[in-house]
Amino acid sequence: MVIADGGDSGEKIVTDRHVINLGRVRIFPDPGHDHEHCESAIMARAAAKCQQSGARLTEQRRLVLQTLARSHCSMGAYDILDKLREQGERLTPVAIYRQLDFLMDQGLVHRLSSLNAFVVCLGPEEGHGSQFLICTSCGVVAEVRNDPMDRSILDRADQAGFEITQPVVEVMGLCRHCRDQAGGDHEG
Ligand SMILES: [Zn+2]
Ligand SMILES: [Zn+2]
Ligand SMILES: [Zn+2]
């Protein structure tokens, strides 16, 4: 997933379609990448999206989003709570969940059922939040979109008379960076 400044239109999220065209290299952010850039793009997009939808990005909502935006890893609600406490922000668990609900409604955050955790959205604007590659070593989550996979799931469900309520695919594995590190001492 690549985030870049879009000049006149503000920040721009380069979507899955481009990621697929670019190859698999850019789906996972490079460990040494300029993450401050990601963070500011995420916050800028959140502000723009809320303005568009007429929703208020309150201080608590902003704090929760910002905590998640600090990395590309998923976090549980209580991890977010702890991080905010370290900053002297005292939100209750109920408040954290309420803000997360809001952020999910706005498409700014996704929930990963398999980890019972949340991750900031870096995905495409449309039809996002369906497919995730999750590194079990470093915890980085990449949001991807694969139209043929979407279609195949829809087709199968359709054939089975199955009504999809959550078309989410969560795939566990090791990211390129973690694989490189693991392969450092021994080949193969
Ligand atoms: Zn980043
Ligand atoms: Zn997304
Ligand atoms: Zn990894």
Q: Per-residue DSSP letters for 61-116?
A: HHHHHHHHHTSSB-B-HHHHHHHHHHTT----HHHHHHHHHHHHHTTSEEEETTTT
List, for residues 121-159, the tens digit of each pLDDT value.
886 566 566 889 999 999 999 988 778 888 898 999 999
Give the span between the Cα atoms of 138 and 155, in whole angstroms: 34
* Separation of CA 30 and ligand 1 centre (Å): 8
Q: Is 2 left (phi over 0), alpha (psi -120 to 50) or beta?
A: beta
- In total, the chain counts a number of residues equal to 188
Domain ranges of the chain: 2-182
Fold of the CATH domain 2-182? Arc Repressor Mutant, subunit A (1.10.10)
Cα 87 to averaged position of ligand 2 atoms, centre (Å): 27
Q: How far is CA 64 from the centre of its chain?
A: 14
Centre a 10 Å sphere on the Cβ of residue 7 and count the other Cβ atoms it contains.
Answer: 8
CA of 130 to the centre of ligand 2 (A): 8
Grade residue 184 by pLDDT with cuts at 50, 70 and 90. Answer: low
CA of 34 from ligand 1 middle (Å) equals: 6
Q: Most distant CA pair in the chain: distance in Å?
A: 55
| CA atoms in the 13 A half-sphere facing the CB of 88 | 0
Which tens digits make up the pLDDT trace of 74-90?
Answer: 999 999 999 999 999 99
User: What is the CA(185)–ligand 3 centre distance, in A?
Assistant: 17
- At position 16, the amino acid (one-letter code) is D
| H-run or E-run covering 13 | strand 11-14
SS3 label, residue 47:
helix
pLDDT digits (tens, 9 = 90+) for 40-99: 989 998 999 899 999 999 999 999 999 999 999 999 999 999 999 999 999 999 999 999
Banded pLDDT at 6 (limits 50, 70, 90): very low
Q: Which residue has the tokens 């300029």?
A: 34
